[in-house]
Amino acid sequence: MGKVVGIDLGTTNSLVAYVRDDTPVVIRDASGDGLVPSVVSLDEQGTVFVGREAQRRLLTATGRTVYSVKRFMGRGIEDVRDDAEFLRFRVAGEAGGVVRITLGDRELTPPEISAFVLKELKHRAEEHFREQGEFDFEVDRAVITVPAYFNDAQRTATRDAGRLAGIEVLRIINEPTAASLAYGLDKRNRGTIAVYDLGGGTFDISILRVEDGVFQVLATNGDTHLGGDDIDRVLTELVLAEHAGTSTAGAGQPTLPAEALQAMRKAVIQAKWDLSEHERAEIVVEPAAGLPSGARRPITRQEFETLIRPIVDRTLGPVRAALADANLTPEDIDEVVLVGGSTRVPLVRRSVEELFHRTPHSELNPDEVVALGAAVQADILVSGRREMLLLDVTPLSLGIETMGGVVSKIIMRNSTVPASGRDAFTTGVDNQTAVEIHVLQGERELAADCRSLGRFRLRGIPPMPAGLPRVEVRFQIDANGILTVSARELRTGIEQQIEVKPSYGLTDEEVERMLIESFEHAEADFEARLLIDARNESEAVIAATEKSLRRPDFTALVGADLEPGELERIQAAVSAAKEAMRGDDRDAIHRRTHELNDVTRHLAEVMMNRGVREALAGKNISEIETVGSAAPPHVAGTVPGKR
Amino acid sequence: MTPDPIPVRHVPSVECRNCGAGAPVDEHFCPSCSRILALGRHGDYFAFLGLTRQLVIDQGDLDRRFRELSRQFHPDYYYNASPAERLASLERSSYLNDAYRALRNPVGRIEHLLAIEGLPPARSEEGTAKVPPALLESVFALNEELDEIRELRESGADPGQLRRRLDAARLPIEKRRTEHEAQLRDLSAQWDAGRDTSPDERKRILEALRERLLERNYITNLLASVDRETAGLGLGPGPDSSEAQSQTPRVESHG
């Protein structure tokens, strides 16, 4: 038996964690970075790149690189057209079938693309265990998290991705619930908790009651199409609109190459981060194909908040619905936990605080807390420890289509899983020998408005007058929230062997075939990986340096302490490091990174001293970032012990 | 476990698939080999949770039993067990969750009691189609009022005024609902106290409970129709509409 890990397979970033000496820890790369960007890129030779390297290729190999693929999991082509158009992905697939995304000359399904991300995490974890001197370092099992509001097709697609990556998926658990496990809130006592999880592409709210170590989810709600991506989109559209206004002067639709759009996206994300810490920032778009001089656009936090308020307000509806389902009011909530990178946005925090009249928990890094919880759950499953138990719910009602296109619900939303339900139906026509059972998920009355999960036929019903047969349909949801359906005719006792054809999923045969095909994909070899590691480290140092230089109060803060020419030397070192990054010479990249580190050491000391002084003067120390350390600005250094 | 004075359906025991020993149907683990037992033919949520058929219960006690049994059955703890035990754990956990969902609210408890005491379900077609005799008069009055309001709305009457009329029409029905809840509480207490009374008397209580439930469902539908009219005025949600929504009878499990 190999190692067991917990994986947060996110829209923007993914992480892997495990339990070491009773404490969950995130596995990091050499530069201390725990996040693996959920970006996948294929080069002309068929080599696969995942993570930071793939993210860099977004700017240079745009048509061969894909991100935010989680938005496409378990969905049909008709659901994703809008997204695909904005993200500039080329998608294919028949109506009512699984979507395929074009990457260079290949077409891949979302589970296949996610499997590349999972393989990268598996690889990262195995490297870590090998370095720890473990004899058995293979990672063969994992708990993977999904948004609580994911439907059955999306959960199944996630499980398929795990299989394709060669990982046995021990359990699919919900992200907000995982986060509550990581916080170890059971240790504190008993109480009612709200977990507000705004990630890159999804929003979840879960209401839990914790008592005697049992985490019982009372209600959950959310939106699987709401998150940081939407904030980026609003900002990109702002820049795009103004760019069009000046350069094409209203001459029809401006069409920028995908490379320019990616450069814009990168710039607005940076500005979004800056605005979480400062009152004003600037969107700085680097020159790219179709945008030779780049673009600059100053933006204040106030303007930013006006732009994104509609997005933040969209989270409040699901929050109220979840409270109503749990029969609670905001005053009944004892603790609020924030999860997901988008909860760093001050407007989001303020909105949550105003709603619950509570200061939310954010002690744990909101990017990491879900992976930590997944690791805890993985440990519970394999160790047999019983201090904690998760009791989760199914987010959406499940039922079948009956006469007139009406849905007959068999399991109601917010039922604790595992759950079962059954109902009896009959025929509508004399001598009918088969019934078609159409399985649906959703809250609406009409089948056409609900998500189709699959169809199957129960055959072999003996000919009888209409209304006489009694067909019992039985639903069983397992602890993963995944449904199985069986049906039998009660008068004859005939139970048909049924096979559900998933509407938006892969059949077992398809998964098997993909597993075989996947061996033909080459992964980046050892040398290539060393080069990627060097680039990652260099990028982290450049990012930290540029972050300091971009501070609006930079001159006021350190201007007086800098030596003549020091700033110019730093800027030159940044340019040199960037230049080296564009090449393939690993030693050159290393050299330039070390030079940049050396040349910024004095600046780091100055800022650090300032920080200490300001802290003593009652100022906020978190506003002082370190330069020269390799930690990227959004990664916390350590994770507090849980037990 | 307290012996149940009411005759249970004839289901004497289940067989342990591990050691072959017999076990009483309400046992969860084999008395001989202590493995988890497959879920036998069960139908009594009260007995499954180790409760007698009482309608007034201690909510905290029910929650505690649910958590304790969850800790014994949950599939998380059978990950490395045999396939038979894993199936048993899945079935028992599902059944426990269904039982808890049904018993944790008073109406769910009454519905389940009626079912295991052999009465037809109170949520059948007749619950919505046929007006319960006791409600005939108020239903008649309400429908007349709603028709009139509809006409006035179509002829362009002031929505604010119509809203006040709708709110007024709501009041007597809400009062009926409050009365009903008191009656259900009273009958529930009678049932709990009536362990030693005659079978006829117990039957009478059950029939009365069922009547009240049918009426209650009808009242809920009436309130919903007032809410629909209120929403039709386009003035935003009525003062009680969210409350009414959360009080629509929850569909319980099909146990």
How confident is the model over A574-594, as pLDDT tens digits?
999 999 988 888 899 989 999
The answer to whether residue B86 neighbours chain A at the CB level (below 8 Å) is: no
**pLDDT at site B122:** 67
**pLDDT at site B151:** 81
pLDDT greater at residue A177 or residue A508? A177
With contacts defined as CB-CB under 8 Å, which chain A residues touch B75?
Answer: 418, 478-479
Q: Distance, in angstroms, between B200 CA and closest chain A CA?
A: 32
**pLDDT at site A639:** 32
**pLDDT at site A125:** 96
Q: Distance, in angstroms, between B193 CA and closest chain A CA?
A: 30
Instruction: Name the percent of chain A lying above pLDDT 90.
Output: 46
Q: Examine residue B237 and say whether the peptide bond preceding it is cis (omega within 30 degrees of 0).
A: no
Instruction: Give the tens place of pLDDT for each residue, A380-399.
Output: 999 878 888 999 999 999 99
Its CATH architecture, for the domain B13-116, is Orthogonal Bundle (1.10)
pTM of the model: 0.83
**pLDDT at site A502:** 65
d(CA A481, CA A419): 9
Taking an 8 Å cut-off on Cβ atoms, the answer to whether A478 and B253 are in contact is: no
Q: For residue A136, indicate whether it is catalytic.
A: no
**pLDDT at site A410:** 93
Taking an 8 Å cut-off on Cβ atoms, the answer to whether A324 and B246 are in contact is: yes
- Residue B92's closest chain A neighbor by CA? A418
**pLDDT at site B152:** 81
**pLDDT at site A524:** 66
Scanning B89-148 for CB atoms below 8 A from A yields 90-91, 93-95, 97-98, 100-101
Residue B241: pLDDT band with limits 50, 70, 90 = very low
d(CA A367, CA A347): 18
**pLDDT at site B41:** 67
- The residue among A376, A382, A416 with the most chain B CBs within 10 A of its CB, best to mutate, is A416
Instruction: Name the percent of chain B lying above pLDDT 70.
Output: 83
Taking an 8 Å cut-off on Cβ atoms, the answer to whether B93 and A415 are in contact is: no
What single string gives the DSSP state of each residue in A308-366? HHHHHHTTHHHHHHHHHHTT--GGG--EEEEESGGGGSHHHHHHHHHHHTSPPB--S-T
Residue A353: pLDDT band with limits 50, 70, 90 = very high
* Residue B129 pLDDT greater than 70, yes or no: no
Instruction: Give the tens place of pLDDT for each residue, A41-85.
Output: 998 888 899 999 999 998 888 889 999 999 999 988 888 887 777
With contacts defined as CB-CB under 8 Å, which chain B residues touch A386?
Answer: 71, 77
d(CA A460, CA A433): 6
Instruction: Name the percent of chain A lying above pLDDT 70.
Output: 90
Q: For residue A8, indicate whether it is catalytic.
A: yes
- The residue among A325, A389, A480, A486 with the most chain B CBs within 10 A of its CB, best to mutate, is A389
Residue B24: pLDDT band with limits 50, 70, 90 = confident
Residue A196: pLDDT band with limits 50, 70, 90 = very high
Which of A409-413, A462-466, B155-159, B213-217 shows the lowest mean pLDDT across its residues?
B155-159
* Residue B143 pLDDT greater than 60, yes or no: yes
Task: Select from B71, B101, B251 the Cβ nearest to the Cβ of A386.
Answer: B71
Instruction: Give the tens place of pLDDT for each residue, A316-343.
Output: 999 999 999 999 999 999 999 999 999 9
Inter-residue contact A215 to A390 (CB < 8 Å) = yes
Q: Is B52 exposed, middle or buried (0-12, 13-18, 19+ CB in 10 A)?
A: middle
Instruction: Give the tens place of pLDDT for each residue, B67-94.
Output: 999 999 999 888 888 998 999 999 999 9
**pLDDT at site A245:** 55
With contacts defined as CB-CB under 8 Å, which chain A residues touch B97?
Answer: 415-419
The answer to whether residue A482 neighbours chain B at the CB level (below 8 Å) is: no
**pLDDT at site A3:** 92
**pLDDT at site A366:** 92
Which of A122-136, A445-459, B153-167 shows the lowest mean pLDDT across its residues?
B153-167
For chain B, the domains span 13-116, 133-232
Taking an 8 Å cut-off on Cβ atoms, the answer to whether A214 and B95 are in contact is: no
With contacts defined as CB-CB under 8 Å, which chain A residues touch B101?
Answer: 415-416
The answer to whether residue B76 neighbours chain A at the CB level (below 8 Å) is: yes
SS3 A515: helix
Q: Distance, in angstroms, between B90 CA and closest chain A CA?
A: 7
Residue A234: pLDDT band with limits 50, 70, 90 = very high
For A460, the enclosing helix (H) or strand (E) is: none
**pLDDT at site A316:** 94
* Residue B178 pLDDT greater than 50, yes or no: yes
Q: Which of A112, A126, A197, A232 is catalytic?
A: A197
* Residue B23 pLDDT greater than 80, yes or no: no
Instruction: Give the tens place of pLDDT for each residue, A440-459.
Output: 998 888 888 888 888 888 88
**pLDDT at site A248:** 44
- Residue A384's closest chain B neighbor by CA? B77
Question: Can you tell me the mean pLDDT for A614-621?
Answer: 50
Phi-psi region of A414 (alpha: psi -120 to 50; beta: other; left: phi over 0): left
* Residue A633 pLDDT greater than 50, yes or no: no
Residue A623: pLDDT band with limits 50, 70, 90 = very low
Q: Distance, in angstroms, between A300 CA and closest chain B CA?
A: 35
Q: Which of A70, A119, A122, A272 is catalytic?
A: A70
Scanning B37-66 for CB atoms below 8 A from A yields 63-64
* Residue B137 pLDDT greater than 80, yes or no: no
Which of A224-233, A451-460, A496-505, B165-174 shows the lowest mean pLDDT across its residues?
A496-505
**SS3 annotation, chain B:** CCCCCCCCCCCCEEECCCCCCEEECCCCECCCCCCECCCCCCCCHHHHCCCCCCCCCCHHHHHHHHHHHHHHHCHHHHCCCCHHHHHHHHHHHHHHHHHHHHHCCHHHHHHHHHHHCCCCCCCCCHHHHCCCHHHHHHHHHHHHHHHHHHHHHHCCCCHHHHHHHHHHHHHHHHHHHHHHHHHHHHHHHHHHHHHHCCHHHHHHHHHHHHHHHHHHHHHHHHHHHHHHHHHHCCCCCCCCHHHHHHHCCCCCCCC
**pLDDT at site A638:** 31
Residue A609: pLDDT band with limits 50, 70, 90 = confident
**pLDDT at site A411:** 94
Q: Distance, in angstroms, between A520 CA and closest chain B CA?
A: 34
Residue B247: pLDDT band with limits 50, 70, 90 = very low
Task: Select from A381, A419, A476 the Cβ nearest to the Cβ of B76.
Answer: A381
Which of A116-125, A528-537, A624-633 shows the lowest mean pLDDT across its residues?
A624-633
Joined together, the tokens standing for residue B60 give 């905290």
Q: For residue A70, indicate whether it is catalytic.
A: yes
With contacts defined as CB-CB under 8 Å, which chain A residues touch B253?
Answer: 421
Instruction: Give the tens place of pLDDT for each residue, A204-225.
Output: 999 999 998 899 999 999 998 8
What single string gives the DSSP state of each residue in A536-593? HHHHHHHHHHHHHHH-TTHHHHHGGGSPTTHHHHHHHHHHHHHHHHHS--HHHHHHHH
For residue A233, give the amino acid letter: R
Q: Which of A13, A9, A8, A10 has the alpha carbon at shortest distance from A634?
A: A13
* Residue B5 pLDDT greater than 80, yes or no: no
Residue A107 to residues A63, A94, A98, A520, Cα–Cα distance (Å): 12, 13, 12, 14
* Residue B238 pLDDT greater than 50, yes or no: no
